[in-house]
Structure formats: C-alpha cells, structure tokens
A and B are shown apart, each in its own frame.
Chain A
C-alpha cells in the first residue's frame, strides 16, 4: 500500500513535469497547426539562460525563471517574423524539416557557446529540501513543478476557450484568409500565440531541469517524448495533455518500479493502445 501510494506520488510529479514542458508544443501543434520540432530547443535555451543567470550571475531562481521565459519570448519574435511565419499552412513535412534544421543549428550554437558539459540551475533553499507529505517526503522542486503545471493548465484553458483572443486564434488557424477577411489581424494573433508557446517551452525547460538536465543534445533527446505526450493527449487539448502526462507518467513510473527492464515496452505499448482506441488523442478535436 505504502509502495503504491509512493509510486502514485512519483507518477504524479513526473507527469506534471512532462506536462509543463510539452504543453507549449501542444498549443503550437494543435492550435497553430505547426509541427514545431524545435520546441525542445527552446526549452533548452530557457534552461541555459536560467543556468547562466543563477550560476554565473548569481541571480535568484525566481528572477532567472522570469528572465528565461522573457528571453525566449523575445527571441521568438524575430524568429516568428522571419522564419516561422513563412511556414504557416505549409505541409507538415516542410515544417518538420525547417524546425529540425533550426534544432540542429541551436544545438550547434549551444555546443559552441556553452560547451558540451551538463548545466544545472541553482534552486533557492525553499525548493531544495524535501517536503513531508505524511507517509513520505517529496522533493520540493517537484511540488513546485506540479503547481506550476496546474496553474499553466488553468490559465491556458481560460485563454483559449474563454477569451476573444482564443476565438481569434482558432479562427485564424482554421482558415487564415477568411479570418483576415473578417478583420482579424492574424499576423499579430499568430505572433503572440507563438511567443506564448515558446515562453511555455522555456518555463518547462527551467522547471523540468531537475529531471531533464540541460545539455546541448537536450533538444533532440526528448523530442520523441514531447511528440508522444502531445499526440496521446490530442494536440491542442489542454485537458488531454494533462491526462496523457498523468497516464503515461503512471505507466512509466510503475513499469520502472515493477519491471524496469521492460520499462519502454510498456510505455510504447500503452501509447499504441491509447492511440488505437482514440485516434485523435484522448481529448483531441475531431477533424
């Protein structure tokens, strides 16, 4: 019993970290219909910024986190303007090619600027210690990640489903020329959404850095995981992504505990089973 509870806690924490990192991708892929494989690269940039800010400049974690998100959002503006914008509505394969190319470049540059070694982000004392939750203790940074994840989920859901901006965004994605013809400034809507998605990537990169350490290959290493989470949840669905992260987190954690030697088997079998039953993902919008 103790063990089951314990696994449950680990699964929840792991799932929430996954969620924070991949939700931005769910937004780009589901809402903006952009297969942005460079998502991990932006998460990595966020991680580097935060690492540099805490280690070299000695900033407080909170400021470093904000700086990382802000830096990535600012970086997103020219990238969107000069690169991504040309690929809205292009075939998925072209988007994949472009973003893989971009990922390669970012990896190369990271390797050159920051070196091939691991980087860590210094946590404030409050997030360092364990927190006692009754029957066991959990590292505070995991609780922090979970809380951030929930807040992001709620905030995004409100933004997309309940605001005028959300309607404009979804309209622009569905049929950009028509949205323009209705007076929606699609370019601005897109730029803002893209920037938000990249900001979320950076947030995920920093918050999740304790599990997914920052190094140049980060951008490629975790690409598959992000893709899997997004599609199992249903691209563009926040609830779906959350559910997918928790389910897959549980499968992986339980597998790691019970039969680690088959860990990935169960993980991918679960993916196949879920997608076979829900071809649009757990809560995907039907096409």
Chain B
C-alpha cells in the first residue's frame, strides 16, 4: 500500500531555496534508504506556501488531510504556518514532523508535533560560552526585530549573563533594513568587544556583513558571533570574504566530517544539481523522513497518530549532523551544537567546525 506524506514548504518566493532543500533532504533519504518501509511505499505530496501565511497553511493542510488523505504532515518553514496546522492534528489523527520552524513553543501546540530541526534558543545559547571562553566580557546584540531574532537575543543575553558577561546594548533592527552603516556606527560607539547578531538566512546577511567590514569593525578587532543561519552554505560563496573569521554556532555544517554526512551530501547534491545550493533545511527534512519511516514501521501502516508519535519518543540515531535523539518530553531533537568558523578551504568557503557542545536540549522550551 501507499502511505502519503504531505509536505508544506516555501517552494517559490523569497525562501524558495529552503523549500528546494526540503525536497533535496527527502530525495536524499529515498536515495539512501529507498521509498518503502516494509511493504509500505511512501509517497510525498508537496504544497507550496511561499510566506508566513497561516490562513493558507490551514487550507493546504486541510486539503492534504481530507483531499489527499495523507497520513503524515511534514515540512513547515515558518512558525505561524506550523501553528495554524497544529489544531487539527488530533481530530485528523495525523502526526506532524516539523522540518524547520524554530520557535520553542510549537511543540506545545499539539502532542502530535515532532521536530527534527532546531530552535533558535538551542543554537544561540552555546555562543555565550564561546564568547566567555574567548575572553569577551562586553557584547552587544543586534537582531532582526521578529520572533526568531528576539529568541536569539533572549537566549544569548540570558546565557551570557549567567556566564558572567555583560550585554551592553540590545539592538533590534527592522526586517526591511538594507543599509546597515548606522547600526555599525552604533556598535562601534557601544564599545563592545563582540557582536552577537541574528538575521534570517538570505539577502540581508550580505549587506550586514559587508557593512561590518566596510565600517572598519572587523579591522578594529570586534568579534562577530551568530547562530549559523547567517552563514548558511548556500550564501557563503558571496558572503565568504567578508564573513571570514566569523564564529557561528549551529546544529549542522555541510562540511561536517562523517560517513553519514558524506553519503547524505552526495545524494542531496545529486538531486539539487548544484551542490552550492545545499543548506541546513535539507538535513531537517532528511531526519524528518527518518522519523516518519520509523513511525510507519511502528504502526505498520495503520493510521494511529498517537502510537506513531509514542514510537519515536526517545528514538536515537546517527544523523548527518551527528548523534541525535528525540526528547520524549517535548518531542524535540536533542543534538550536538557545533562552533564553526567561516574559512576558505581548497578554494571553497565553508563553516569549519572547531568545537562541539554535546547533547544540547532546547533551553527555550517551557513545559505548558
């Protein structure tokens, strides 16, 4: 029989690249593990949701469940889209595996939500330790003024303070900022030794890092710190020179050296055609498929959402990103967070892993 998985993601619009990476991750999974689990064949149905748009998300989700009869929902790049789908899961008896949306609270929206990506809290918190270890005592945070940005700021400030550092200022910039010179001036005037920044992956990061260099902050020795969203591999070819030396913490680097990752990259790049387009959402999707396969196996193809989710609580496996496990309490991934440095290796800009923070949970999660 055929088990349908509905995947909602941004396949067009500003985040089209991330949607492509969803599909790349899924195709990589099929290439490496086949399309069948036991006797059950997996069929994936894609729906495009180019921007955060809960109304459309709810409509697409409902159509997938009612019209296409999907047994599993997956994908979801933006938080509100995931939130809009969550209320109908129980009635539909369908589990949802989130490939990306990174707000801690989503898992509380329904007991049928499992997440195989990361949260911004999870990736940002270790950066405070990194900063302290490098002798930085005064930092400034600069984030885009929206949910994930605020999460990143809160996570860093909290952890940095706990580690004895001082956040001298917290700056929130409008999402539409294109000229970052005034922000750089402000960083300069704040006298901080390091900047902790968060911007959504994409075109803005180029302007930000260019301004960082052009306004002399790099030369002045200010250390730029950020979660890995800012240096996703697909942006690195253009960011490269300006981002060199920048430190990021993240759950996955394309350059991660493990047999699992090498196999994964080969399969994903195969599908993408251009290996430069590979980015972190692909690994979220790949692991998401691993989880879904386990769910299918455990329920033997029956539609029993509660049993399926129950079956993956505490599941452990080796992901391309390293060893991971699903926290039975909040159904979120416990994983390694890596400290990386942007560096040029053999003519290619990569996130070079320097240090590992093992088995990190989600510090931003609050039990409901």
Most buried by B among A7, A118, A261: A118
Residues in chain B near residue A137, CB distance under 8 A:
216
Q: Are B179 and A253 in contact (CB under 8 A)?
A: yes
State the CA gap A263–B175 with chains docked (Å). Answer: 10
Nearest-neighbour CB distance to chain A for B132, whole angstroms, equals 26
Residues in chain A near residue B171, CB distance under 8 A:
260-261
State the CA gap A51–B338 with chains docked (Å). Answer: 34
Q: Are B210 and A215 in contact (CB under 8 A)?
A: no
Is the C-beta of A163 less than 8 angstroms from some C-beta in chain B? no
State the CA gap A25–B16 with chains docked (Å). Answer: 28
Residues 7-52 of B contacting A (Cβ, < 8 Å): 12-14, 16-17, 20
Q: Are B206 and A118 in contact (CB under 8 A)?
A: yes
Residues in chain A near residue B16, CB distance under 8 A:
111, 116, 216
Is the C-beta of B162 less than 8 angstroms from some C-beta in chain A? no
Q: Are A217 and B13 in contact (CB under 8 A)?
A: yes
State the CA gap A263–B173 with chains docked (Å). Answer: 7
Given known A120-B206, A213-B207, contact A254–B12 (CB-CB < 8 A)? no
Is the C-beta of A14 less than 8 angstroms from some C-beta in chain B? yes
Is the C-beta of B133 less than 8 angstroms from some C-beta in chain A? no
Number of chain A residues close to chain B: CB under 8 A: 36
State the CA gap A210–B176 with chains docked (Å). Answer: 15
Q: Are B214 and A118 in contact (CB under 8 A)?
A: no
Q: Are B17 and A116 in contact (CB under 8 A)?
A: yes
Q: Are B181 and A253 in contact (CB under 8 A)?
A: yes
User: Which of A10, A115, A221, A264 has a CB less than 8 Å from the CB of B179?
Assistant: A10
Q: Are A117 and B276 in contact (CB under 8 A)?
A: yes
Q: Are B17 and A257 in contact (CB under 8 A)?
A: no
A-B contacts counted at CB < 8 A amount to 93
Type the 1/0 row for A187-229, where 1 means its CB is closer than 8 Å to any CB of B.
0000000000000000000000011110111100100000000
Most buried by B among A3, A7, A260: A260
Q: Are A215 and B203 in contact (CB under 8 A)?
A: yes
Residues in chain B near residue A217, CB distance under 8 A:
13-14, 203
Is the C-beta of A280 less than 8 angstroms from some C-beta in chain B? no
Nearest-neighbour CB distance to chain B for A241, whole angstroms, equals 18
Nearest-neighbour CB distance to chain A for B274, whole angstroms, equals 7
Q: Are A116 and B238 in contact (CB under 8 A)?
A: no
Residues in chain B near residue A116, CB distance under 8 A:
16-17, 20, 277
Q: Are B181 and A14 in contact (CB under 8 A)?
A: yes
Is the C-beta of B186 less than 8 angstroms from some C-beta in chain A? yes
Residues in chain A near residue B306, CB distance under 8 A:
none
Residues 2-22 of A contacting B (Cβ, < 8 Å): 3, 6-7, 10, 13-14, 17
Residue of A nearest to B234 (CB): A117
Is the C-beta of A168 less than 8 angstroms from some C-beta in chain B? no
Nearest-neighbour CB distance to chain B for A261, whole angstroms, equals 4
Binding site for B on A (CB under 8 A): 3, 6-7, 10, 13-14, 17, 108, 111, 115-120, 130, 137, 139, 210-213, 215-218, 221, 252-254, 256-257, 260-261, 263-264
- Known: A10-B182, A215-B203; 15 extra A-B contacts, CB below 8 A, are A6-B185, A14-B181, A115-B274, A117-B238, A117-B276, A117-B277, A118-B202, A120-B206, A213-B207, A217-B203, A218-B203, A256-B173, A260-B182, A261-B171, A263-B173
Q: Can you offer 24 A-B residue contacts whose CB atoms are under 8 A?
A: A6-B185, A7-B182, A17-B179, A115-B277, A116-B277, A117-B17, A117-B235, A117-B277, A118-B203, A118-B235, A118-B238, A211-B207, A213-B206, A215-B202, A221-B203, A252-B179, A254-B182, A256-B173, A256-B179, A256-B182, A257-B183, A260-B145, A261-B171, A263-B173
Binding site for A on B (CB under 8 A): 12-14, 16-17, 20, 145, 171-174, 176-179, 181-183, 185-186, 189, 202-203, 206-207, 210, 214, 216, 234-235, 237-238, 274, 276-277
